[in-house]
Amino acid sequence: MGNFQLIGQENRARRGSFSTPHGVIQTPVFMNVATQAAIKGAVSTEDLYRLECQIALSNTYHLHVRPGDDLIHDLGGLHRFMCWDKPILTDSGGFQIFSLAKLRKIREEGVAFNSHVDGRLLFMGPEESMKIQANLGSDIAMAFDECVKIPSPRKYVQESADRTYRWLLRCKTAWQQNCEDEHAVNPGQMLFGINQGAVFHDIRREHMKRIAELDLPGYAIGGLAVGESHQEMYDTIEAVEEWMPKDRPRYLMGVGTPGNIIEAVARGVDFFDCVMPARNGRHGHLFTKKGIINIKNEKYLRDETPIDPECRCPVCSRYSKAYLRHLFKAQEMLAMRLAVSHNLFFYNHMMEEIRQHLELGTFESYRSQYSGILDKRI
């Protein structure tokens, strides 16, 4: 018996549960991004419980650079450091190295790069990434991969996918060794492999088949949501989905809008993460069941109603649009906290609705009602 249980299915959409050392996750699930061991917008891990959050995601690259994964290890791991006793997933650091760091050089061993904080030269390969994630003690560690740009030449994408496969073999070995270490923070840590191949369906499929053979606890589709169209993304998911093990969770990395998530659930995806609810919130863009509103709009000046009258979040149960608009206009930090809190609740609660509809076999009707409208600006 694996950690993933498939509870039900509606067409290709899946309702499941996933056991981790810090509790069971009900899927489909949205992971709440806590990049530097903190949620952006002054939201605390204590708040996350009230925001129906099941799992937090932190960034290996950021925490390695500051405060250092050795420090977090010595202080008992990331759960204890950030006071969060539910599951945590850490990414591999690869995405940030390829998007944030300077002067990177990719070799078979790994990647040399300069820290974006102080410029010091660092090196990360599969073993380093797995060691950092072991130090952090997350429940789910992600394999170290290269996330290639879209578009990239086919030849480069093939070479990169092959290297990412070789890196995954090394990740698996390192992960198994780390879990057996007597000083392991989280000996039950699991490794997810990552599928790459840009938007070349045949490269994606071949790569997926090879990594599926490694019998890992979960699999991710990486390298999407980096500039391709929504349709290309959906087509790519469809191309690899049938080669993903049915009895393992599937994670679509960095996706996406509420509509993207609904469409990806319909195509068989279980795990999601995205900075969008926090980032949009900080700019005053708030999700509702009718679409996205800009709370700074003049029309909310005297609006006494909550952001979304249907919403049961801690913000909508107390504060008016007029007050939130005032906070944004007055540049009060509280504006961001309340906006991010609402948006995170919106995402988590949408996942709860999706799960309920999957249980009732009514997901397709939920999808047709909401997939098109939730991303619209109103």
- The rounded distance, in Å, linking the Cα atoms of 181 and 50 is 35
Residue with Cβ nearer a second copy (74 or 359):
74
Which class for 98: exposed (0-12), middle (13-18), buried (19 or more C-beta within 10 A)? buried
Under rule CB under 8 A, which residues in 330-349 are in contact with a second copy?
A: 330, 332-338
| Catalytic residue numbers, as ranges | 91, 273
Q: Does 275 bind a second copy (CB under 8 A)?
A: no
Residue type, 262: I
Q: Does 29 bind a second copy (CB under 8 A)?
A: no
> What's the min distance (Å) between Cβ of 60 and a second copy?
15
Among the listed residues 31, 33, 37, 185, the single contact to a second copy using CB under 8 A: 37
Of 228, 297, 233, whose CA–CA distance to 267 is shortest? 233
> What's the min distance (Å) between Cβ of 137 and a second copy?
15
Binding mask 298-317 for a second copy (x = CB under 8 A): ---xx-x---------x---
- The rounded distance, in Å, linking the Cα atoms of 179 and 165 is 21
Beta strands in the chain (DSSP E): 4-10, 13-20, 23-27, 29-33, 56-58, 88-90, 102-106, 111-114, 121-124, 140-142, 190-195, 218-221, 250-252, 271-273, 285-288, 291-294
Among the listed residues 326, 352, 353, 373, the single contact to a second copy using CB under 8 A: 326
- CA torsion sign for 256, 260, 265, 268 is negative
Q: Does 294 bind a second copy (CB under 8 A)?
A: no
Q: Does 115 bind a second copy (CB under 8 A)?
A: no
Distance from CA of residue 173 to its chain's centroid? Answer: 24
Stretch that binds a second copy, among 61-69, 86-94, 131-139, 172-180 (CB under 8 A): 61-69
> What's the min distance (Å) between Cβ of 340 and a second copy?
9
Q: Does 327 bind a second copy (CB under 8 A)?
A: yes
b/e string for 330-345 if b means 16 or more Cβ within 10 A?
A: eeeeebbbbbbbbbbb
Q: Does 36 bind a second copy (CB under 8 A)?
A: yes
Residue 158's CB is within 10 A of a number of other CB atoms, namely 17
Residue 367: strand, helix, or coil: helix
Residue with Cβ nearer a second copy (42 or 179):
42
Which residues would be at the binding site for a second copy (CB under 8 A)?
A: 36-44, 46, 62, 66-67, 71, 74-75, 81-83, 301-302, 304, 314, 318-320, 322-323, 325-327, 329-330, 332-338
